[in-house]
């Protein structure tokens, strides 16, 4: 999986202050990056334990800065899910 999908990269580059919801996979314990994220105006919404991930929300421009962070392994959009009943 690419670190960031091209569509998401474009969204972050053009999004400015628009809020985006992302899931970030880190190279090691994600807890140590929570303060750093919050300093950039990015809110940590959920911390996960089964995998090294955080659910975050923040301005697109601020989230774009995460792309170049070496501790960010994968950045993906938090996607909608729904039931499969007809």
Partner 1 sequence: MNAEKITTGLAQTMAAASSEETIPIIVKYRTGVVAAQKLVPGVSPAFRYKLVPAVAMRVKPADIQTLSEDDSVVRIWQDLPVHTCLHESLPLIGVPAVWAAGVRGRGVKIGIVDTGIDPDHPDFAGRIVSGANFVRDGSSYRDDNGHGTHVAGIAAGDGSVLGGKYRGVAPEASLYVAKVLDAGGSGMMSGVMAGIEWAVEQGVQVINLSLGGPAPCDGTDALSETCDAAVAAGVVVCVAAGNLGPKAKTVGSPGCARQVITLGASDKLDDIASFSSRGPTSDGRTKPDLVFPGVDIVAPRARGTTMGYPLDDYYTTASGTSMATPHATGAVALLLQTDPTLTPTQVKDLLMQTAKDLGFEANTQGAGRADVHQAYLLASAPPPPEEPGEPEPPQPPGEPEGCWQAIKRALRMGG
The residues binding partner 1 (CB under 8 A) are: 1, 21, 23, 25, 45-46, 48-51, 53, 55, 74, 76, 78-86
* Residue 56 or 60 having the CB closest to partner 1: 56
> Shortest approach of partner 1 to residue 24 CB, angstroms?
9
* Residue 23 or 64 having the CB closest to partner 1: 23
> Shortest approach of partner 1 to residue 67 CB, angstroms?
17
76 in Cβ contact with 22 (< 8 Å): yes
Burial category of 3 from C-beta neighbours within 10 Å (exposed 0-12, middle 13-18, buried 19 and up): middle
Say how many C-beta atoms besides its own lie within 10 A of residue 48's C-beta. 12
54 in Cβ contact with 34 (< 8 Å): yes
* Residue 69 or 76 having the CB closest to partner 1: 76
> Shortest approach of partner 1 to residue 59 CB, angstroms?
18
């Amino acid at each position: 999986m690419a670190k960031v999908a091209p569509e998401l990269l474009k969204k972050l580059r053009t999004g400015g202050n628009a809020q985006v919801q992302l899931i970030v996979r880190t190279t090691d314990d994600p807890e140590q990056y929570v303060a750093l994220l919050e300093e950039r105006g990015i809110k940590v919404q959920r911390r996960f334990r089964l995998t090294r991930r955080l659910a975050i929300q923040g301005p697109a421009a601020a989230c774009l800065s995460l792309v170049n962070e070496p501790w960010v392994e994968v950045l993906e959009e938090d996607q909608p899910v729904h039931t499969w009943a007809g």
